[in-house]
């Protein structure tokens, strides 16, 4: 008979944890407000690879002068700056094209979100940078934030979510489960 109350407590606790994690996940996917960040200059714009929309948004922020540097983390080792240039400069726009020479840096070591955070933090420390806009897709943002928050405490990171395309329930569920695993991992360490 004691088993039943214990089972109820476990189910209620698990349900509460699920609800709290899901609320945090949803809160972290919210859109950034252009007006909030427009008056502040950041040391860097950080883009986590995973789609051309992310790179385009990061480059757009660079063009709009939110920062003077853009770092793209997790770039495939065979991809060059000229490959990325083709993604964002469709019409050989000289102004945009010149930004590649001075202002765009590629990180080719990261293989996952945790190593993205490590790669970015190392690059920022090496260049004495203290603030950044983190650009990634909206559903990937919560997990990315956790990795950055738990790997540094000296860098100010603000987020710029890019709307996910062709998203379905299974994608959201998978990302939520990854987020939950990382969140619980950092809570228990």
pLDDT at 91 (0 to 100): 64
Task: Report the Cα 111 to chain-centroid distance in Å.
Answer: 14
Q: Would you state the pLDDT for residue 35?
A: 54
Is 3.40.50.620 the CATH number for 36-188?
Answer: yes
Whether the CB-CB separation of 66 and 91 falls below 8 Å is answered with no
| Per-residue model confidence as pLDDT tens for the chain (189 residues) | 566 777 788 888 888 877 877 777 777 666 555 555 666 789 999 999 986 689 999 999 999 899 999 999 999 999 998 888 887 876 656 667 778 888 999 999 999 999 999 999 999 999 999 999 999 998 888 899 989 988 887 888 888 988 888 888 888 888 888 988 898 888 887
Residues sharing a CB contact under 8 Å with residue 73, sequence separation 6 or more, in sequence order: 46, 47, 48, 49, 107, 110, 116, 119, 120, 123
pLDDT at 166: 80
- Helix/strand/coil (H, E, C) string of the chain? CCHHHHHHHHHHHHHHHHHHHHHHHHHHCCCCCHHHHCCCCECEEEEECCCHHHHHHHHHHHHCCCECCEEEECCCCCCCHHHHHHHHCCCCCHHHHHHHHHHEEECCCCCCHHHHHHHHHHHHHHCCCCEEEEEEECCCHHHHHHHHHCCCCCCEEEEEEECCCCCCHHHHHHHHHHHHHHHHHHHHC
Give the phi and the psi of residue 46 in degrees, each rounded to 5. Answer: -110, 125
β-bridge partners, 137: 162
């Amino acid at each position: 008979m004691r088993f039943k109350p214990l089972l109820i407590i476990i189910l209620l606790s698990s349900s509460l944890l699920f609800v709290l994690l899901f609320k945090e996940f949803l809160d972290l996917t919210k859109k950034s407000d252009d007006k909030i960040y427009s008056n502040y200059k950041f040391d860097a714009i950080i883009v986590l690879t995973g789609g051309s929309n992310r790179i385009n948004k990061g480059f757009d922020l660079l063009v709009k002068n939110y920062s003077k540097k853009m770092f793209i983390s997790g770039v495939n080792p065979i991809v060059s700056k000229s490959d990325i240039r083709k993604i964002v400069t469709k019409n050989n726009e000289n102004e945009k094209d010149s930004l590649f020479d001075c202002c765009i840096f590629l990180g080719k070591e990261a293989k996952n979100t945790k190593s993205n955070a490590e790669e970015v933090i190392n690059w920022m420390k090496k260049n004495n940078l203290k603030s950044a806009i983190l650009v990634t897709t909206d559903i990937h943002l919560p997990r990315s934030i956790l990795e950055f928050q738990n790997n540094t405490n000296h860098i100010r990171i603000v987020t710029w979510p890019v709307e996910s395309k062709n998203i379905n329930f299974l994608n959201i569920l998978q990302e939520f489960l990854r987020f939950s695993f990382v969140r619980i991992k950092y809570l228990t360490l």
